[in-house]
Amino acid sequence: MSQAFFDPEKFKVLPLWAQVLCAVRSARRYVLALPADVPADVREELMGACDACERCVRAGSRGGDDGAAMARGARVSGGLSVTRGAEVVRWMADAALAANDAMDFGAAEAACANSAMTAMKLAGTHAKLVGMTPLQFAICGGSDANQLAFVCEEMRVGRYGALVSGVFERLTPVYAPERVLETDLHPMHDDPTGGAR
C-alpha cells in the first residue's frame, strides 16, 4: 500500500477494533467487486464473514458464532479471485482474534495491526482480479484509517474499546471502487512514452 495514503505507524495507534474495521472495509470492497460469475453462495459466505467481523467490532469481542462464520469465509474455494478473497478474509479474522486477545496478551496488539494491514495490502495487491487497481484500494484504505482516527478521537474510543454506533454513523459507506476497463489495468496505459521514461 502506498505510503502516500497510508502510514503504518499512525495506523498502529488506532484503537484495536478500529484497525480491525479497516480490514473489514477492505475485505468488503473486494467482495463487492468480485466478478459477476462468482456463485451467489460463495459471495454470501465471504460477505457473511465480513458481517460477522463487523459484529465483533461493534461488540468489542469475538463471539463463537462470529468466529465460525469468519472461518467459513476463509475456507471458501473457487477461481483465483475467490481464493484471494478468502485469503483477505482470513487475515481480517486473524486481526479480530488478536484484538479479542489483546487485553490478556500484550503481543496481540502488534499481531492485530500486522494482520489488519496484511488484509488491506492483499486486497490491493489482488485488485486487478476484480477489475480494480491497487491505487484505488490504497486510497480507500488510507481514507478508512484517516476517518477512523478522527471519529474515534471525537467519540473518545479507548484503545480496547468497542466501536459504538456513533462511529459507524460518521463513516462513509463502503462501496466497491468504480470498475475500470481492462485497458486501464495495463501498466503502460497512462504513459504516452510506452515506458521509455
What does the DSSP assignment read for 17-45?
HHHHHHHHHHHHHHHHTS-TTS-HHHHHH
- What 3-state DSSP class applies to 102? coil
Q: What's at 169, amino acid-wise?
A: E
Q: Report the C-alpha gap between 81 and 128 in whole angstroms.
A: 9
**Three-state SS for 152?**
helix
Q: Check whether 197 has a pLDDT greater than 60.
A: no
pLDDT level of residue 105 (50, 70, 90 thresholds): confident
> b/e per residue, 76-87, with b = 16+ CB within 10 A?
bebeebbebbbb
Cβ-based burial of 178 (10 A; exposed 0-12, middle 13-18, buried ≥19): exposed
Q: Where are the alpha helices (DSSP H) in 60-191?
A: 64-75, 80-101, 108-125, 134-154, 165-170
Q: Which pLDDT band, with edges at 50, 70 and 90, does 183 fall under?
A: low
- Please return the burial class of 126, using the count of CB atoms within 10 Å of its CB with bins 0-12, 13-18 and 19+: buried
Task: Kindly state the cell numbers that stand for 63.
Answer: 463471539
The b/e string for 145-166 (b: 16+ C-beta within 10 A; e otherwise) is: bebbbebbeebebeeebebeee
What does the pLDDT read at residue 75?
97
Tell me what pLDDT residue 1 has: 43
Cα–Cα distance, 109 to 189 (Å, whole number): 41
pTM for this entry: 0.88
CB atoms within 10 A of CB 10: 12
Domain limits, the chain: 8-185
Instruction: For residue 2, name the pLDDT band (cuts at 50, 70, 90).
Output: very low
Look at residue 131 and tell me whether its pLDDT is greater than 80: yes
